Structure 1
Amino acid sequence: MAQVNRMDDAIAPIAEELSRALGVDRETLQRELTLLIIEYKVPPEEAKRSLLKKHRRSIIAGKARREAEETIAPSALRQVPEEPPKPLKDLRVGDAGITIIANVIDPEYREISTPRGPATVISGMLEDSTARLHFTAWVDIPDIFNVRAIVARDVYVKSFHGMPGVNINEKTVLEAYDGLVPPYRRTCRTLKDLSSTDGASDVETEGDVLSLRPGSGLIERCPTCSRVMQKGQCRAHGRMEGVPDLRIKAVIDDGTGSMICVLDRKLTESLIGMSLEELRSMPDRAAGLINTGIIGKPLVVRGNVTSGDFGKIFVATEAEWPADNVPEMAKQLLGEIR
């Protein structure tokens, strides 16, 4: 608390100085400085330079706009919103007119199919200190390949694979960001926190495995579409010769909330210490071995939270027992197998 108060004391005189120099409302400047310095961890001098550049450009643009209004019809003028930047963690599907400041990670051209036919887009990841999200640019902006970080104004947010995704179109105003955007560092988040999002990318949580949902254990997938088959039938392709697979659909709880967590074959084999082939060789015991090997035990998982028709689901890309529980887990698993 004392550190925050000291930061507030440092922000106030900068806001006052900028207000006198730019003629911009001091409360607006203080709010933007607070976001940059405290939320984004931007050094005060960098934040000051960023706002000087931003508002000087706004003043010049405003003068040019007033001159243009004499010769251009009002309907042809586009007002660029000057919203304070929003942390990526707080973005929700349906948000529009949003301003963000973020690092650009691995942008690439991609060919995609749309209702209007094939389209070329630029896609990649954006990150700030709070989150990492996918982005899609529907306009050709080759400069994005040459910048470390951007300020993007007037972006909108749509669902991408069950998670919020930033969309950039012809209305978006993009600039290279001269300041430092701290990289995203994954920290353990509560299930209550994750449940309040519209989905999240590259997150971590820890909880106890309460139960396994139907569809866990030995399954068969359609060789054509990879859907899980029921009694030799695929919903899309009818009767097929299924491909054996293994998964766990666990209900995990951390005391703040609960969520279904899906673990693929590789993670399931790693956690229970047995392979798909070994479990298939003992079908009568497989379900029991999986249940006793995981139910009631704490589990650390990393991956993505997706939001869909069935609520929030944690799709794990990594899973492990907490470090202080590994010896006990191994002992119990060996006992079960014997």
Structure 2
Amino acid sequence: VRSGDVMDPTGRCRLTAWCDFDPKPGDFIHLTEARVQSWQGSPDLVIDEITQATSLESPAWDRIDPEDHWVDVGLTELVEGGTRRGVRTNGTIVLVTGDSGIIERCPVQLPDRNRKCRKRLRDGNCVDCGPQRGEEDLRIRMVLDDGVSNVSLLLSKDPAEKFLGMTQDEVAETISKEGQEAFLMSVREKSLGRGVSVNGLALIDDQGAMLLADSVQDDGLDASKAAEMVIQKWEVAM
């Protein structure tokens, strides 16, 4: 079994090959009669026979930089659609949740997979693995809003460190010295009303919409200007 990301100008998804298909990074391929299946809410492509895949000699489009390939999707369109990888959307941060900061994750190595459980511990307990001595991690949870729709925005360690301008150790030290509420206040002062552009994975299911950020940048639009644009778009009288 081989798997990896494939992309075209409209986005990216996962490709799993149950056959001896081994393209190189940068190769252009053509798939026929591929199956579409869902994994964790994300649509993936699957091929079973080598005859379903063909390597193209001539590029089908200009080469794409996989490190900087994001498809622009409006937040409302994103929320009303399905799960998508490799998207970029914009909005205003309107909420920073009280559980943002240092959390503990389950360290249990899963027997059937080459990874740890990593679920968040609550009061020292994992919902699957029971009582555990947790491993510290940094996570920031916020809500992103475009004036019409909103989505939960989740920043794991790397994007959170870049967004805060602090390392995980510095966050832990700040919370230890000043307390959780003081840390949250500083994050809220930095974030609330801030217009941002987010690159990442959008997970859309019956429970709602969540955006897992790879990176977060200022979008250059302040909150008052964003509100004015929404009012004009939807012809709201003030």
Aligned to 1:318: 215
Equivalent-residue separation in structure 2 for 1:311 and 1:156 (angstroms): 26
Aligned to 2:93: 209
- What's the CA shift string for 1:143-170, capped at 9, x where partnerless? x459932221111111234321111113
SS of 1:154's partner is coil
TM-score (norm 1): 0.53
Shift in Å, 1:308:
4.3
Asked if 1 retains the 8 angstrom alpha-carbon contact of 2:87 and 2:199, the reply is yes
CA gap of 1:324–1:280, structure 2 versus 1, over 3 A, is farther
- What's the CA shift string for 1:41-73, capped at 9, x where partnerless? xxxxxxxxxxxxxxxxxxxxxxxxxxxxxxxxx
Structure 2: 5+ residue stretches without partners: 109-116, 223-238
Equivalent-residue separation in structure 2 for 1:212 and 1:228 (angstroms): 18
The one-letter code matched in structure 1 to 2:151 is: M
Aligned-pair identity in percent equals 26
**Partner residue of 2:60 out of 181, 184, 188:** 181
CA gap of 1:256–1:187, structure 2 versus 1, over 3 A, is farther
SS of 1:231's partner is coil
Equivalent-residue separation in structure 2 for 1:133 and 1:318 (angstroms): 18
Shift in Å, 1:174:
2.8
Aligned to 2:4: 124
Shift in Å, 1:191:
1.1
Asked if 2 retains the 8 angstrom alpha-carbon contact of 1:134 and 1:166, the reply is yes
CA gap of 1:280–1:302, structure 2 versus 1, over 3 A, is farther
Aligned pair 1:157/2:54, yes or no?
no
Structure 1: 5+ residue stretches without partners: 1-120, 326-338
Q: Which structure's residues are more often helix, by fraction?
A: 1
CA gap of 1:270–1:255, structure 2 versus 1, over 3 A, is same
CA gap of 1:239–1:207, structure 2 versus 1, over 3 A, is same
Equivalent-residue separation in structure 2 for 1:152 and 1:123 (angstroms): 14
Asked if 1 retains the 8 angstrom alpha-carbon contact of 2:195 and 2:221, the reply is no
Aligned to 1:235: 127
CA gap of 1:246–1:122, structure 2 versus 1, over 3 A, is closer
CA gap of 1:175–1:220, structure 2 versus 1, over 3 A, is closer
Asked if 2 retains the 8 angstrom alpha-carbon contact of 1:218 and 1:247, the reply is yes
Q: Report matched runs for 1:97-176 at 5 Å.
A: 121-142=1-22, 144-145=23-24, 148-170=27-49, 173-176=52-55
The one-letter code matched in structure 2 to 1:293 is: K
Asked if 2 retains the 8 angstrom alpha-carbon contact of 1:299 and 1:320, the reply is yes
CA gap of 1:257–1:181, structure 2 versus 1, over 3 A, is farther
CA gap of 1:271–1:151, structure 2 versus 1, over 3 A, is closer
Q: Report matched runs for 1:16-95 at 5 Å.
A: none
Aligned pair 1:295/2:192, yes or no?
yes
SS of 1:133's partner is strand
Aligned to 2:77: 193
Equivalent pairs, count: 204
The one-letter code matched in structure 2 to 1:290 is: V
SS of 2:10's partner is coil
Aligned to 1:50: none
SS of 2:34's partner is strand
RMSD: 2.7
- Relative contact order, CA 8 A, sep 6+: which one is greater? 2
- What's the CA shift string for 1:185-233, capped at 9, x where partnerless? 4243211222244322222111101113453233222232322121222
Asked if 1 retains the 8 angstrom alpha-carbon contact of 2:197 and 2:217, the reply is yes
**Partner residue of 1:258 out of 137, 150, 155:** 150
